[in-house]
């Protein structure tokens, strides 16, 4: 029985534990689709657009820690994946794009071979850490192994594999696939000993936990460290869920909150784990120097000391490093109680102030969603006003890999990210969208309907780009090109097979959410914000922009 390059890809995906792949079939990837279906170990999810499919693979990867895969066509299909790979790179997410290419005999000859893209590789290299393109069938297995191995070594990153169409049909011997076990980076024991001594010598420690804690499976070790030190834990937006937000030591995603930053100013040691200290809009984060000395732990040596000077840096996997530190701490004295009390007080004050800004309606809607979403349910947000005002901070997150948002701040990825995550886990999920961002990938509702994805889609509809409206009004005193008109998304959803309704009050929203939770597949709630009590928008501080 023949064994082809396409069969090699199908078996490789199965060997890497990929249970679902996302894709759009084309003449330049048909052999791979056929081989996957013949093998029967991986399910293909038909996306409606390659960008959305790549975002869905990203959601799959973030929700599981596994390899997320998008299979695209060469040329226009691959150019469409670039935005999804850009987001995955920003989020340190392991997303693999597999694409076709012109036959090797025609590649690079300038003969207008259909969908030929001579500069596809350099394009992909701008958004993926490793890109391979075999020119002989004997190179295919090595190319696949090299890309996947790289993606799982150190900090996660997307990769891409370009396979000329004739190699997909070509005969090849059965290969060995690289193991994804044992790739973790252990810390240097001497550096761990230094860290233990530094922690023992401090009495006012704070912990900043980023997405690297979750990526390494280090949540239990993080929580053990927090208990031993009785230290407050601040999370980044991507680190949410590394410690339950009902844990008394959890502050949440408030590092850039003025109230919290002032409260931690007297810390003598900041322990930062798996965070890049992303600077945010207007470079705000770069100005917020971690208080006290900085002990920074990261698997990527390029991250240590990049944004802020690190007094001690440890290069290593977050879980392994935290476990080693915990073992060395023994009966270390806990934090200064007065220092902690001031932070707990600030936390309550910040929470209360933020909740007050929501107004009565949105506060109740947030509480309703949290009450009805299972503790391990997925909470996904697009870049939108509700995400900034309550989704990224106030809405409680309890478990790792249950909080997902566009790390790059992009508008639009929310729906496909949620589809990929819900398909990966089978967990009931909620995605919060604005109407402007929802239009980017609204057609993916057809994917949600086709596969009966357990997803509640909440579209907060104000007829435009609400965040940008607010920024324009604050900075220029007027708005420009941010009004889009009021769409009826419930009718749109119904047209592609998604049950839906439009609501104009909190009571209607709660009843709609109950109906959505009661069915197995997707449900869309179109929320007309015009009829709700307004919330005070709080996205970021107004900055002065000087020329000169």
The residues that bridge with 455 in the sheet, in sequence order, are 429
State how far the Cα of 358 lies from the Cα of 366, in Å rounded to an integer.
Answer: 9
> Are 309 and 353 found together in one domain?
no
* Predicted confidence (pLDDT) at residue 114 exceeds the cutoff of 70: no
Asked if residue 455 belongs to a domain, the reply is: yes
> Are 264 and 231 found together in one domain?
yes
- Predicted local confidence at residue 282, as pLDDT: 56
> Are 25 and 82 found together in one domain?
yes
> Are 256 and 323 found together in one domain?
yes
State how far the Cα of 149 lies from the Cα of 157, in Å rounded to an integer.
Answer: 11
Determine contact, residues 204/267, Cβ cutoff 8 Å: yes
> Are 254 and 377 found together in one domain?
no
Residue range 262-309, pLDDT digits in tens: 999 999 999 999 998 876 655 556 678 999 999 999 999 999 999 899
Closest C-alpha among 271, 135, 283, 289 to residue 204: 271
Closest C-alpha among 160, 135, 165 to residue 148: 160
- Predicted local confidence at residue 15, as pLDDT: 97
Give the domain-ending residue among 335, 367, 387. 335
State how far the Cα of 240 lies from the Cα of 427, in Å rounded to an integer.
Answer: 18
State how far the Cα of 218 lies from the Cα of 319, in Å rounded to an integer.
Answer: 4
Least trusted range by pLDDT, from 14-18, 279-283, 408-412, 488-492: 279-283
Asked if residue 329 belongs to a domain, the reply is: yes
Give the domain-ending residue among 307, 335, 363. 335
* Predicted confidence (pLDDT) at residue 245 exceeds the cutoff of 80: yes
Give the domain-ending residue among 335, 369, 397. 335
* Predicted confidence (pLDDT) at residue 230 exceeds the cutoff of 80: yes
> Are 164 and 231 found together in one domain?
no
Asked if residue 177 belongs to a domain, the reply is: no
**Helical ranges in 487-527 per DSSP H:** 489-495, 506-518
* Averaged pLDDT for residues 439-458: 97
> Are 157 and 304 found together in one domain?
no
> Model confidence at 109, in pLDDT bands (50, 70, 90)?
low
> Are 319 and 427 found together in one domain?
no
Least trusted range by pLDDT, from 130-144, 254-268, 424-438, 474-488: 474-488
> Are 233 and 109 found together in one domain?
no
Asked if residue 546 belongs to a domain, the reply is: no
Quote the domain boundaries for residue 37. Answer: 5-169
Asked if residue 16 belongs to a domain, the reply is: yes
- Domains identified in the chain, total number: 3
Closest C-alpha among 223, 221, 216 to residue 250: 223
Tokens of 544: 């002065």
pTM of the model: 0.93
- Predicted local confidence at residue 543, as pLDDT: 38
State the DSSP code for 171: B
Q: What's 69's domain CATH number?
A: 3.40.50.970
Determine contact, residues 333/228, Cβ cutoff 8 Å: no
* Predicted confidence (pLDDT) at residue 82 exceeds the cutoff of 80: yes
> Are 391 and 242 found together in one domain?
no
Helix (H, G, I), strand (E, B) or coil at 305: coil
Residue range 451-476, pLDDT digits in tens: 999 999 999 998 777 677 777 777 88
Crossing angle for the helix pair 318-329 and 189-200, to the nearest 10 degrees: 50
How high does pLDDT run on average in the chain?
A: 92
Asked if residue 61 belongs to a domain, the reply is: yes
The residues that bridge with 194 in the sheet, in sequence order, are none
Phi/psi at 45 (nearest 5 deg)? Answer: -105, 120
512 exposed, middle or buried (CB, 10 Å; 0-12, 13-18, 19+)? buried
* Predicted confidence (pLDDT) at residue 489 exceeds the cutoff of 90: yes
Asked if residue 94 belongs to a domain, the reply is: yes
> Are 157 and 196 found together in one domain?
no
Asked if residue 547 belongs to a domain, the reply is: no
> Are 441 and 364 found together in one domain?
yes
Residue whose structure tokens are 């694409």: 99
Q: What's 303's domain CATH number?
A: 3.40.50.1220
Cα 81 versus chain centre, distance: 16
> Model confidence at 541, in pLDDT bands (50, 70, 90)?
very low
* Predicted confidence (pLDDT) at residue 546 exceeds the cutoff of 70: no
């Amino acid at each position: 029985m023949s064994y082809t390059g396409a069969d090699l890809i199908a078996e490789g995906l199965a060997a890497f534990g990929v249970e679902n792949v996302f894709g759009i079939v084309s003449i330049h990837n048909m052999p791979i689709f056929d081989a996957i279906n013949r093998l029967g170990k991986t399910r293909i999810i038909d996306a409606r657009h390659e960008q959305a499919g790549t975002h869905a693979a990203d959601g799959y990867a973030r929700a599981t820690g596994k390899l997320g895969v998008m299979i695209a066509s060469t040329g226009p299909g691959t150019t469409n994946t670039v935005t999804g790979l850009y987001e995955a790179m920003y989020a340190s997410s392991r997303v693999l794009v597999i694409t076709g290419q012109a036959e090797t005999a025609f590649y690079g000859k300038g003969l207008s071979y259909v969908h030929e893209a001579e500069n596809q590789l350099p394009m992909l290299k701008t958004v993926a850490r490793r890109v391979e393109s075999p020119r002989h069938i004997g190179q295919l297995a090595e190319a696949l192994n090299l890309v996947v191995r790289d993606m799982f070594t150190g900090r996660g990153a997307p990769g891409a594999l370009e396979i000329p169409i004739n190699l997909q049909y070509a005969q090849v011997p059965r290969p060995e696939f690289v193991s994804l076990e044992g790739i973790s980076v252990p810390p240097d024991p001497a550096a761990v000993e230094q860290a233990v001594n530094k922690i023992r010598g401090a009495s006012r420690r704070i912990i900043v936990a980023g997405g690297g804690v979750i990526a390494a499976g280090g949540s239990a070790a993080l929580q053990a460290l927090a208990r031993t030190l009785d230290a407050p834990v601040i999370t980044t937006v991507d680190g949410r869920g590394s410690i339950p937000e009902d844990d008394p030591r959890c502050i949440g995603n408030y590092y850039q909150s003025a109230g919290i930053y002032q409260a931690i100013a007297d810390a003598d040691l900041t322990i930062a784990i798996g965070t890049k200290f992303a600077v945010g809009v207007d470079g705000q984060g770069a100005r917020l120097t971690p208080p006290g000395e900085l002990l920074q732990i990261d698997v990527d040596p390029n991250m240590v000391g990049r944004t802020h000077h690190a007094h001690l840096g440890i290069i290593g996997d977050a879980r392994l490093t935290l476990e080693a530190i915990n073992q060395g701490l023994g009966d270390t004295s806990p934090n200064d109680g007065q220092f902690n009390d001031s932070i707990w007080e600030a936390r309550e004050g910040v929470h209360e102030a933020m909740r007050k800004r929501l107004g009565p309606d949105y506060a109740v809607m947030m509480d309703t969603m949290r009450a009805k979403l299972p503790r391990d349910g997925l909470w996904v947000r697009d870049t939108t006003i509700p995400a900034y005002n309550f989704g990224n901070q106030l809405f409680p997150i309890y478990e790792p890999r249950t909080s997902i948002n566009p790390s790059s701040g992009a508008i639009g990825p929310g729906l496909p990210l949620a589809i990929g995550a819900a398909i990966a886990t089978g967990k009931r999920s909620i995605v919060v969208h604005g109407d402007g961002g929802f239009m980017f990938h609204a057609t993916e509702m057809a994917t949600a309907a086709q596969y009966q994805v357990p997803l509640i889609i909440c579209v907060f509809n104000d007829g435009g780009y609400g965040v940008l409206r607010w920024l324009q009004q604050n900075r220029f005193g007027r708005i420009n090109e941010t009004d889009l008109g009021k769409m009826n998304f419930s009718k749109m959803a119904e047209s592609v097979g998604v049950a839906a309704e439009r609501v104009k009050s909190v009571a209607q929203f709660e009843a709609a959410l109950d109906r959505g939770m009661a069915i197995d597949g997707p449900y869309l709630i179109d929320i007309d914000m015009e009829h709700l009590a307004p919330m005070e928008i709080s996205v970021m501080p107004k900055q002065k922009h000087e020329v000169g």
